[in-house]
Chains A and B, each alone.
Chain A
Amino acid sequence: MTEGSKGDAESSASLGAGGDSHANLAQLRAENERLRNRVIELEANAEEAVRTLHADLDEAMRENADRRHAVRALDREVIQLRAMLAEAERQMGNIRQTFIYRIGETIVSARTLKGLRQLPRRLFALRRAFLEKRGLLSSPVHLRMGYSDRLKYVEEALALLANQGVDAAIDFVRSLPGQDPEDKARALLEVAHAVWRQDPAQAASLAVEAGVVNQLDPRLRSLVLSLFDHGEVDAPALILSTLSETLTVTPADRARRETILAFERQLAAPLKFPAKLMSAVGSPCVAVVASRSLPHHMQAETFRAQAVMDAAREAGLSTFLVTQPGYQYPASGNGEPAARLFNSTHVIRMPSVGDPPGVFDRYVPAVAGLLAREFIARGVTCVHAVGELSLAAAACWAARASGASFTLDVGESPTMGGHVDDGWIGRERFRSSMALFADTVRAADQCIVRSKAVDRAISELGVSLGAELIDDFTPEQVSKVSEIETDEIRSQLGLADEKIIGVYDSLDMDEGLSDLLDAFPAIQAAEPSCVIVYIGVGEGAESLRQRAVTRGLIDQVRIAPDLARRRISDCLNLFDVAVFPKRRPSPLGVAASFELQAALAIGAPVVAADTAWAREWVVDRATGLLVDAGDSEALAQAIIEMLGTKELAQAMGRSGRDLVRSRGGAAMVHPAVVATFSRRREKAAA
């Protein structure tokens, strides 16, 4: 009996006993039906659950199988890799065996005389091949050939050069067999390197022969630049014009190449400035052209430009500054000049024109085109250029094209390449750029010069400026001093209360700089606690330091090129005596005395070598002491006097300050500058 039927029987019994039996029966049946349905439902659920469980189980089993497969696949892969490794090892063994066999074969072949002769080469070839097979040679093919082999002719040529002279070496390299062209080319180049200073033309000819074979040899590039740096133009230009690809590996290389060729072009056919067609009219507007912007650079040029702008503003003229791309803003604008406002100064920064300033025959017309457009658009009537030659030449060109008057403001004698060594004046590179300077002077409406010494130096170079002398302006900024900054500089130099004999100047190769070192022992005998501080940059800094070392003075000498970044007045304020010992024997490198003026402006006691340059500001025993240039004893005595007599130093400091204020102050300089604007305008109007 099922549970349901038993329930039914019990229900029937109770029905028989009661009155509502039918109703109860129906109720019970309904209940029975519900329960049955419930059982069916539960059974269905159970089946579903079982099915789900089965499905999950199947899924898990499938996954498990997949994983097993994957593991098996990995196993197979490992086995395959192992097999590959074994195969690679076997092959490596084979390679070894093969090479051992080949080595054996080579040795056997050496039984004959010819084989014996070839033995070393064949063994080397085998070694190279073996290393190559093992991947141990990753260097370029030409390097695998070995270096010494490629230089075999060089050694012989240099030996000949040392023992039998240049001609023998040149004959030897030219007669070398042509089957090793690159090796021959290298030998030609090395001989060219050995002879370029004595005979640049011969060196160029050898280099051209070498370059025909290998234009990208760095030694060729080095030779070309060495020649150019030495002041040669024709010889490096000959090499470059014969060999099209040399010096063109990078954009910088291309710029160097174009610069050299521009110098050559200037030698053959100097740049011609356009004729002046008309004069600009309208309200006066002054464009000041300088290579750097204001007021970030503590340099004479920037102060000079600032003074010109201030003078124009004072006279009620509108003015703005034009500069070239600087390194902070290498690409101003979008190929167009970019206008900026620095404090109250309007600055137009020229865009890069592709060619560097050294390629002046392209740079000048290109920049001039842009400048002329700006000048016309802004109604410029006067252009005043200070600083870098190519930019000044472009400004001159643009002034002529736009009808503005042009003033060339000369603050230093041109060195054209930054060299002041002997013989530089006679070299092609100097002559070439001096021609541009002379043309710019000729094309200018007027020149002003900031120092008589500079004027004389330029006359000695054969160019007559016909310039008006206007003293350099000494702005307030130069004479402002911060004691905190000065203390910090003293602390950086590791100095306490020592008396400081200071030099603030470019540290070039001028012998006068070491006159102070020669004077020092005598000074120290009189003033034991004193030191020398040189502040400035230049190629002579290291050799000056070494001279101090060899004289045993390094503990008493500080050479601080890095302090040149600090404000000049804070540096000069450090000095108990400011010394200007340079002899300046050559007309090159003579500049308006900005540093000397700055020293006087803060009232520093000044001792200077008696040069025309120094005499412009130092009146002996009035604003400072002058000593004969190169006389270290007199220099020592003057410094001792200055250090030992406080009253004298203070009095001279005061006089110097007064002189600078009177001659270099705005009241004197500004009217003179403004007069240059009006003079040109009057002339133009007439």
Chain B
Amino acid sequence: MAAESSGGRHPDPVTAAVREGLTSRRKRSLSRRAALAEAGDLLRQARGDGAYKASLPRIIELIREYPQAEDLQFTAARLMMEDGDAQTALAVWKNILERLPSAPEPFRMVVRLTSRLNGEDAAKAILTAQFPDVSSVSGEAPLFALALGLEEVGDLVQAEDALCRLTRLYPRARSPWRHLIRLQEARGGLISAQRSAATAMAQCRDEEFSQAYSRISKEINALTSLDPNATLDDGPYSVKVLNAILANVVRSRKAKSFAPRRHLGGVIMITGSLGSGGAERQLVTTALSLHEASQAGRMFGSADIVGPVAVACRSLTAKKGNDFFLDTLRREGVQVTDYSRLPRFGGQLRHSRVKDFSDVVGMLPARIREGIVHLVDYLRHEAPDVVHIWQDGMIFAAGLAALIADVPRIVLSVRTLPPTDRVNRWRLELEPIYRALLSAPGVVMIANSTMAARRYEEWLGMPRGSAPVIHNGVTRLDETPSAEDEMLWRSFAHRTADAVFTVGAVMRLDENKRPLDWLSVAESLHRHHPCVRFVIVGGGALRQEAQEYAQRLGIADRVLFTSVSGSVGYWLTKMDTLLLLSRFEGMPNVLIEAQLAGKPVVSTPAGGACETVLNGRTGWLTSSAETVDVQEVTRLLSDIMKMPPDRRQEIGASARKWAEETFSVELMLERTVRVFMASYPSPMIIEP
């Protein structure tokens, strides 16, 4: 039977296998070395075909045979982590850390997954709890664990310091050297990395470090040859390489002229994955509509859509669920390409458009390198009129590739705050990439909210209003309930039969959405108006805490917590108003969906939320997104509640009309095609 984590909610097959292996000595089918090799093979195979679940049972079997082989446990935990079940993976890694408290790797993974699930602050708290005084850490394993943990929370300077200390204290240990060199290379400190590789070579006498030394020396030579006048300091060389490539490509692009288009030919949409996210949904809607228009001969405005429309995805199998929309697209005949599997350099480097940069491509960050190596020749071959790159991760990975491939119109679609506002997304190379792309003719940045557009414009010093805003296209949700949801509502409605007003939320229960503040507002409203009830649709890390908090507030019987539901449209019909108290938002679709369902909304003015509501006419915005003023929100809800039913209906009708007119799929497509086809007199950034 599978063991369970301390919380008792997530089964831990690894711990169960270790226990079983230790209690009943099993016959071993193969040597420990072969077992480790097989486990490694299984992990690689799963990464290749995405069949993680198929590989796990065999590794668990191997753990039963070798319960004390740490690496087998690590491999199983990695497999579960990459399968996408982060909660279970965290539980597994925590249990491994309990068994092997001095092992750095489990500590690192616990920090990583905590950061992913509960936020960076929670991850830092673990680090502080484990190492209250960083300067006093001195043992080899703890110091290494500290360095890895610091790297995970993004404190790279401290991480490098810790690794330097570690390599001074334990110069023969190879792993710290390996990490130190990698870290220095990643931050662009080529000279430091070369020095570290030389010392590691002398101390460890390992072939690995002499190879690293040769590689770094070769890169330094290539860098010198790329720009002989450059002073070779310890700055980020990847940025220097990028700048040199970009200057070259943008110069040659400016010398070319692209014929104005009267018809829209090939369109390739580039995305990281086809997972179930909001951006991917918009991408799929756009791709399918354009494809259908190209088949039927339907025009958008005066644009004849000829196609073909295709989607290129960075990886469909790297993570579970990456292929969520794959069948939808393929069923309709849209070609989908997993570009990480395309031949490198389009098959032959000597004929590739990349051959001029081949010496330095290796020095670029991995994502950009992958994009260039796999995409450039594919794009040249397909010769689309438009490449539409979705979200900043992919702009980073594929923007340069599209530029090198000479695609006439490159559309960069940003959907949230720029990477400067999101510390964990920041990369040194981001700014030069964005600046160079936008200084090239035919490259356009679009945003799905004015807020995002303005923030990118401020970051890149673009004139205000440069980036066109194309709001999301949202359709009214299906209101048919699942049997389970209908039953749940009936039972709740029976329990709260006295209620005359229902306040609802559709949200992920995490810190950003402030479910506890939401419940405080609910309690306050209930105190003033006992005949009110609340519905919270969604799951998340804070769900249990929120339920306990509702108990403490004494309103548990007035609040219905549904889990993640496929019948959001149904739940919206049961609400009289929707309340959202987010701290940060991109373009909250739920506010649009609620208005489409004819429900007035109350929201904090977080991010693009302001753009989804006509304040005072289709909904109400609170005064601040930074803090929640419970009294203010209660007053707003009370006001809605006190309105006569026909006034509420009138506001609901206005909300629906506004949402239909502003966020229709048709409008989104028309605006998108307009950007695809428009002739822009000058680049978006004019470099001096």
Contact = CB atoms under 8 A, between A and B. Distances in A.
B465 interface: yes
B353 A148 contact: yes
Interface string A98-140: 0000000000000000000000000010000000000011010
Nearest to A542: B678
Contacts of B482: none
B381 A147 contact: yes
B215 interface: no
B682 A151 contact: no
A148 B466 contact: no
Interface in A338-391: 356
Given A541-B674, A549-B465, A554-B464, A491 B617 contact: yes
Interface stretch (A217-225, A398-406, A647-655, A670-678): A217-225
A250 B378 contact: no
A225 B306 contact: yes
Nearest to B58: A85
Contact of A550 (B304, B351, B463, B675): B463
Contacts of B468: 542, 545
A549 B678 contact: no
Contacts of B351: 148-149, 151-152, 155
A29 B353 CA distance: 119
A147 B378 contact: yes
Contacts of A548: 465
Contacts of B378: 147
Interface string B385-399: 100000000000000
A467 B681 CA distance: 41
Interface string B554-582: 00000000000000000000000000000
A550 B265 CA distance: 29
B419 interface: no
B25 interface: no
Interface stretch (B109-117, B126-134, B294-302, B319-327): B294-302
A221 B382 CA distance: 13
Contacts of B346: 146-149, 151
Interface residues of B, number: 58
Contact of B294 (A124, A250, A541, A543): A250
Contact of A229 (B263, B342, B686): B263
Given A542-B680, A561-B674, A148 B349 contact: yes
A415 B686 CA distance: 35
Nearest to A417: B262
Nearest to B654: A488
Contacts of A250: 294-297
25 contacts: A137-B341, A143-B342, A146-B348, A150-B347, A151-B346, A151-B381, A154-B380, A155-B351, A155-B353, A218-B266, A222-B383, A225-B262, A225-B304, A226-B262, A229-B263, A230-B262, A418-B302, A491-B614, A542-B680, A543-B680, A547-B681, A548-B465, A550-B463, A554-B464, A562-B671
B259 to A, nearest CB: 6
B347 A145 contact: yes
Given A491-B617, A542-B468, 13 more contacts: A139-B337, A146-B343, A147-B378, A154-B380, A197-B259, A222-B306, A226-B262, A250-B296, A541-B674, A543-B678, A545-B468, A546-B680, A562-B661
B294 A222 contact: no
Interface of A: 124, 136-137, 139, 143-152, 154-155, 197, 218-219, 221-222, 225-226, 229-230, 250-253, 255-256, 327, 356, 418-419, 491-492, 537-539, 541-543, 545-550, 552, 554-555, 561-562, 565
A192 to B, nearest CB: 13
Contacts of B466: 546, 549, 554
B679 interface: yes
Interface in B437-468: 463-466, 468
B12 interface: no
B652 interface: no
Contacts of B681: 543, 546-547, 550
B347 A251 contact: no
Given A149-B346, A218-B265, A552-B463, A252 B377 contact: no
B265 A225 contact: yes
A490 to B, nearest CB: 11
A219 B383 contact: yes
